[in-house]
Amino acid sequence: MQPTSLAFQSKAAAALADPNLQTALGGIKTGWQRGRILAAERLPEFEQLRDQARDIKNHALANLDFYLEAFEARVLDAGGQVHWARDAAEARRIVQEICESADAKTVTKSKSMIAEEIGLNDHLEAAGITPVETDLGEYIIQLRKEPPSHLVGPAVHLTKDQVADLFEQTHGLPRTDDPTELVGQARTVLRQKYLQADVGITGANFLIAETGSAITVTNEGNAELTQGLPKVHVVIASLEKVIPSMEDAFTLLRVLARSATGQEFSAYTTVMTGPKRPGDLDGPEQFHVVLLDNGRTGMIGSKFQDMLRCIRCGACMNNCPVYLAAGGHAYGWVYVGPMGSVLTPQFVGIESAHTLPNASTFCGRCEEVCPVRIPLPNLMRHWREEQFKRQLMPSTVRQGLGAWGYLARRPALYRLATRLAMGVLGRLGKKRGRFARLPLAEGWTVSRDLPAPEGRTFMQQWRQRQRSRP
């Protein structure tokens, strides 16, 4: 997928004017955002679990080479194969070769952000192999030829009516907007595809070093049918998904679903270890794990290492005021919301995504809700510094920031300048109490008035309040 992140502002403006999108995004607040709050309240040890989750991921990252080698050894012991992919092209080639060796015409897929990251569907289609998405949201966006707009709910940007229209056109059945009937239609189509597929491709939420297992969580059971019915199963996952033990996985699972959707646990948690064994009634004959680096080892030891703790729960976007107004497609690449604003510049280059770290009010809500305590605002700040250093912002903004930086390093001069500015603004705005337009503040005044300051700086008001305290 070609990044279009530089168009964030215009896409966000279009998103704000799209009533369907605004209706769909409104559901996140009352659904997942509220669900997380209630789930956390019901679990007294939730904050403690978050600390443990952070520590598990930090430990795994600090010993990544050890756990990856242990994972590979256990997969081989179980009769599976491990393929190491340095980048997206290598991962695509490996998956294609596995599919071709199985003479695959159709592959079923359960939701995998790594498959999105490497553009797997387009590649397989170009090679004459038909990928079929089996997650309901992914199935919907595949029909619409769109990328996902959310980590957990890829089609969360659509209303029920839009899905009803789509299914009427695609399935050729009488229109219905009954959710149960809509799901039933998708199920009927997909059941056939499961039976036709030669290869099943899944992602993995966690890879377990002590057993060589891959764990998936879904609410639809589609990953289970994807990995269990075809004769070949391919797991495609990035390196940082490896954690030491099954016990660690269950600690992480306890915070994952609660943070994502407010569920105590996802409906299906599946542990996949190796291919079908003698005596097993079902299961794939081949079990492949494709381990993708794609720049992640370069993040180890860098100021962005914390980002590798991400367990893709989506809580940061569910609680981000910018995401909730602009939606996922405005971010212009695979990863969206606050986590996408950190990861996208990493993967596609800051030159192609420098708008994203600015798509934040720095309210800090994303960090507050992240189950593995990733300091997202800090990481976005690092990218803003890079943006400034590489001169990627307009010269007026650079000059403004340069002037502000000069003053900020000279407190006495800063206080004098702000006192003067507040005094002038206070006098100019005294009559109307607000400004409809103001130089350097067009971003604010384009859609609302700027309240006129009372004529004193924040510091002056603060000092006066301190003095008048009893």
Per CB under 6 A, residues contacting ligand SF4 are 151, 310-316, 339, 370-372, 374
User: 182, exposed or middle or buried, with CB in 10 Å at 0-12, 13-18, 19+?
Assistant: buried
Distance between CA atoms of residues 16 and 329, nearest Å: 12
Going by the DSSP 8-state scheme, the letter that residue 88 receives in this structure is H
Give the shortest CB-148-to-ligand SF4 separation in angstroms.
13
Pick the closer one to ligand SF4 by CB: 182 or 252.
252
352 CB-near residues (< 8 Å, 6+ apart) = 3, 5, 6, 345
Pick the closer one to ligand SF4 by CB: 312 or 415.
312
Output the CA–CA distances (angstroms, integers) from residue 139 to 155, 183, 186, 470, in the order listed.
9, 11, 8, 64
Give the shortest CB-373-to-ligand SF4 separation in angstroms.
8
**CA torsion sign, 159 to 162 to 166 to 169?**
positive
Pick the closer one to ligand SF4 by CB: 232 or 252.
252
Distance between CA atoms of residues 356 and 367, nearest Å: 17
Nearest to 358 by CA among 318, 334, 330: 330
Pick the closer one to ligand SF4 by CB: 132 or 311.
311
Give the shortest CB-355-to-ligand SF4 separation in angstroms.
19
Pick the closer one to ligand SF4 by CB: 155 or 342.
342
Pick the closer one to ligand SF4 by CB: 204 or 315.
315
Give the shortest CB-269-to-ligand SF4 separation in angstroms.
17
Give the shortest CB-375-to-ligand SF4 separation in angstroms.
10
HSE (CB half, 13 Å, CA atoms) of 292? 27
A 10 A CB-CB count for 460 gives 15
Pick the closer one to ligand SF4 by CB: 232 or 257.
257
Give the chain's end-to-end CA distance (angstroms, integer): 62
**Orientation angle between helical segments 46-62 and 64-77, nearest 10 degrees:** 90
- The DSSP H or E segment spanning 450 is strand 450-451
Tokens of 459: 């510091």
Pick the closer one to ligand SF4 by CB: 163 or 315.
315
Give the shortest CB-346-to-ligand SF4 separation in angstroms.
13
Strands (DSSP E) contained in 158-272 are: 199-202, 206-208, 213-218, 232-238, 242-243, 268-272
Place of tokens 């978050």: 50
**Residue 262: left if φ>0, alpha if ψ -120 to 50, beta else—which one?**
left
Asked if 194 and 222 touch (Cβ cutoff 8 Å), the reply is no
Give the shortest CB-316-to-ligand SF4 separation in angstroms.
3
Pick the closer one to ligand SF4 by CB: 68 or 370.
370
HSE (CB half, 13 Å, CA atoms) of 276? 16
Pick the closer one to ligand SF4 by CB: 238 or 286.
238
Give the shortest CB-90-to-ligand SF4 separation in angstroms.
25
Single-letter residue type at 450: L
Pick the closer one to ligand SF4 by CB: 311 or 380.
311
Going by the DSSP 8-state scheme, the letter that residue 234 receives in this structure is E
Give the shortest CB-374-to-ligand SF4 separation in angstroms.
5
CA 249 to chain centre: 20
Give the shortest CB-340-to-ligand SF4 separation in angstroms.
9
Give the shortest CB-36-to-ligand SF4 separation in angstroms.
10
Pick the closer one to ligand SF4 by CB: 289 or 380.
380
Nearest to 5 by CA among 319, 335, 318: 335
| DSSP-H helix ranges across 159-203 | 160-171, 179-196
Give me the residues paired with residue 269 across strands: 217
Give the shortest CB-338-to-ligand SF4 separation in angstroms.
6
Tally of residues, the chain: 470
